[in-house]
Amino acid sequence: MSFLDNILGKKKENLAEDKIFQEEAFDVRDIIAPPYIGILQDHIKLGERFARSFFVFSYPRYLNTGWFSPVIDLNQPMDISFFIHPVSSELILKKLRKKVTEVSSEILEREEKGLIRDPALETAYRDIETLRDNLMTAQEKMFRLGLYITIYETSEKELKDTELTLRSIFESRLIYIKPALFKQKEGFISCNPYGMDLLEVHTPMDTAPLSTSFPFISFDLSSNEGILYGINRHNSSLVLFDRFSLENANMVVFAKSGSGKSYAIKLEILRYLMQGVDCIIIDPENEYEYLSDAVGGAFLKISLTSQNHLNPFDLPLPGPDDNPEDVLRSNVINLVGLLRIMLGGLSSEEDSIIDEALTETYAVRDITPQSDPKTWANNTPLMSDFQEILESMAGTESLVNRIKKFTKGTFSDFFNQQSNIGIDKNFVVFGIRDMEDSLKPIALYIVMRYVWNIVRSKLKKRILVIDEAWSLMQSDDGASFLFGMAKRGRKYWLGVTTITQNVADFMGTDYGKAIITNSSLQLLMKQSTADIDSLQKTFNLTEQEKYLLLEAAVGEGLFFAGRKHVFLSVVGSATENKLITTNPQEVLLQREARKNL
């Protein structure tokens, strides 16, 4: 070796030693790569996660549309790949010709030997001939389908549990899967979006069964019109719907306290307001007051000391298609129901006297079927006028004594006054929090009668929200009136939303069940164990849906619209959240911020 070669050799050795101590370049691959990858015979370990890949190797003779949807809807992280390779029809026809010859020969051989017929051979023969005919006429094409699934879990035990779930789903449909033993790396890569089919486990299929494998058929409630109700937890699609597109726009909401029902309804109201729909709220806790101020609505406090008055004797203005006599009779019947609640019940004799006295009270004020309905508003009687009529009738001493507390004293400030409010804004809230508990059902009934009179007078899209509706259901007359509004509201473009957390009280009455039947939309959020069995029976819930409602997070629930239903998560923007939040801490912070302005 020459001196020059010796020097060059030493330089190369020094360069190699220097490279050992050089710091490698840091790039994005070091950020996204897991800290460790271990490839074992039946799974891959990616850092703290475990992955296992499977392939489908056997299918039944028939596949129903949507057979793959239960796997898509599983609440498990997984990657799924479909590889569809077209096959030349000429090549398939040659193979089918050979196969049909073999099958027909075997059938003839069995006949010559006097053996009984083999249904499997005859079915195979018919299937092959049908497929040949369809291929020849270009009605079908042949493909090779490779279906691979990779699941991810945090432990080997969870991997086994998820594998059992997958096997039970597939095998119930006579479809069978296997883990890609000693080919987990190839299976993992095949399920990643590289477009590389490294497993190459294929099943021949023609067009019809292949089309049933289309995976994206999970239930969704997306339409071209309506508002955003939330995110579909099954497939992360948007739940867009217009409640006025159904046969009726009524909605019932069942949820326990703190489940997010008020947040969901406020969000719905806010979004419908942006579409020009009027919203009327009966608010038992005055929690809609801030939202009313934010959107320029009207918040009307209803209490014994409030300046806002509603006259129980108000009459609706008959529409062009209404008969004044029917309007007056219907109003008298509703008033009898109200007085039955106010007076603590009526005997059959007292009921008849009340009916006669109400008709006479209106007649004294020249409100009759023959009078001009345009003059009714100026002649509306008061509760004291009704008392005077009762006093002039025989056998009414008990009724007069009971009615006096509403015409004199503290109660008269609310029950014996002419109405001085109007619904002239798109968003109106009746706050009844400060009304005495014993009078709340009465106040609720009067407010609903007033709203119903307004609704009947002018045809317009409206939503009426009745929070804590169970309190009105405590009396038959209140429940009957609420049911009447839910049943007849469709004719006047009204959608009634009833909200309750006392599910048993609501569903324990015939009227409550009828209201559910007449509501095309239902929202079921987190439930207590005491109510879930009753709900499951009423709404035909599966066991999985039952446990979803028991374990649902705040803002999650089952949303029913007609025959479809999805498990959704209610989501609001940051701006919407400021307007509608019911979290006490956030509400307190907002109040302090408003004081500092």
3-state SS string for 173-194 = CCCEEEECCCCHHHHHHHCCCC
Which range scores top for mean pLDDT: 102-106, 305-309, 417-421, 460-464? 460-464
167 inside domain: yes
Residues 57 and 196 in one domain: yes
DSSP-assigned beta bridge partners for residue 178? 55
Return the pLDDT at 570. 92
pLDDT confidence of residue 270? 93
At residue 79, the pLDDT reads 94
pLDDT at 502: 72
What pLDDT, on the 0 to 100 scale, is given for residue 140? 84
Same domain, 194 and 332: no
pLDDT above 80: residue 210: yes
**Token pair recorded at residue 359:** 């008709």
Are 330 and 198 contained in the same domain?
no
Provide the H-helix boundaries in 343-439: 348-364, 383-391, 397-407, 412-415
Question: What confidence score (pLDDT) does residue 198 get?
Answer: 94
Structural domain contains residue 291:
no
Residue 127 has what pLDDT? 83
Max CA-CA distance within the chain? Answer: 141
**pLDDT given for residue 189 in this prediction:** 94
Distance CA 384, CA 404 (A): 8
Q: Is the pLDDT of residue 20 over 60?
A: no
To the nearest 10 degrees (0 to 180), the angle between helices 348-364 and 383-391 is 110
Q: Are residues 324 and 185 in the same domain?
A: no
- pLDDT, mean of residues 409-430: 86
Per-residue pLDDT band at 491 (split at 50, 70, 90): confident
Residues 49 and 187 in one domain: yes
User: Given 174, 196, 211, which residue is the final one in a domain?
Assistant: 211
pLDDT given for residue 111 in this prediction? 83
Confidence tier at 163 by pLDDT (50, 70, 90): very high
pLDDT digits (tens, 9 = 90+) for 498-548: 998 877 777 778 888 888 888 989 999 998 888 888 888 888 887 778 888
b/e per residue 197-208 (b: at least 16 CB within 10 A): bbbebbbebbee
pLDDT band at residue 252 under the 50/70/90 scheme: very high
Q: Is the pLDDT of residue 21 over 60?
A: no
The residue among 186, 211, 236 that closes a domain is 211
The verdict on 200 and 322 lying in the same domain is no
The predicted structure's pLDDT at residue 590: 66
DSSP letter assigned to residue 129: H
CA atoms of 168 and 16, how far apart (whole Å): 58
| Mean pLDDT to the nearest integer, 569-597 | 76
- Render pLDDT for 323-354 as a digit per residue (tens, 0 to 9): 888 888 888 888 998 888 888 888 888 888 99
Claim to verify: residue 60 and residue 199 sit in the same structural domain: yes
pLDDT, mean of residues 253-275: 90
207 and 316 belong to one structural domain: no
- pLDDT, average across residues 370-396: 87
184 in the same domain as 50 = yes
pLDDT higher than threshold 60 for residue 16: no
**Whether residues 193 and 332 fall in one domain:** no
- Is-contact 414 304, C-beta < 8 A? yes
Q: What is the DSSP letter of 523?
A: E
Residue 286 CA to residue 486 CA, distance in Å, equals 24
Tell me the average pLDDT across 559-564: 83
Half-sphere exposure of 73 (CA within 13 A, CB side): 17
What's the pLDDT band for 593 if we cut at 50, 70, 90? low
Average pLDDT, the chain: 85
Residue 316 sits in a domain whose CATH number is 1.10.8.730
Whole-angstrom distance, CA of residue 406 vs CA of residue 63: 71
In a domain, residue 395? The reply is yes
Q: What is the pLDDT of residue 45?
A: 93
Establish if 158 belongs to a structural domain.
yes
Let me know: does 386 contact 364? Beta carbons within 8 Å.
no
Region 51-73 average pLDDT: 87
Which residues touch 72 (CB under 8 Å, ≥6 apart)?
Answer: 80, 215, 216, 218, 234, 235
Q: How many separate domains does the chain show?
A: 2
Between 19-23, 42-46, 193-197, 488-492, the lowest mean confidence (pLDDT) is in: 19-23
Indicate the pLDDT class of residue 585, thresholds 50, 70 and 90: confident
Average pLDDT of 565-592?
A: 80
Judged by DSSP in three states, 261 sits in helix
List Cα–Cα distances, 435 to 35, 439, 442, in angstroms. Answer: 64, 7, 10
Same domain, 67 and 187: yes
User: Of 418, 440, 469, which closes a domain?
Assistant: 418
Q: CA angle, 474 as apex, 555 and 419 as ends, to 5°?
A: 90
Average pLDDT over residues 123-142: 83
Q: What is the pLDDT of residue 371?
A: 86
Select, from the ranges 51-55, 99-103, 547-551, 576-580, the one with the highest average predicted confidence (pLDDT).
Answer: 51-55
Kindly indicate the confidence band of residue 174, based on its pLDDT and cuts at 50, 70 and 90. very high
Asked if residue 418 lies in contact with residue 314, where contact means CB atoms within 8 angstroms, the answer is no
- The beta strands (E) that lie in 417-546 are given as 427-431, 462-466, 494-500, 521-525
Write out the residue range of the structural domain in which residue 42 sits. 29-211
d(CA 56, CA 59): 8
Q: Which three-class secondary structure string do you get for 70-106?
A: HHHCCCCCEEEEEEEEEECHHHHHHHHHHHHHHHHHH
pLDDT at 15: 57
Same domain assignment for residues 144 and 35:
yes
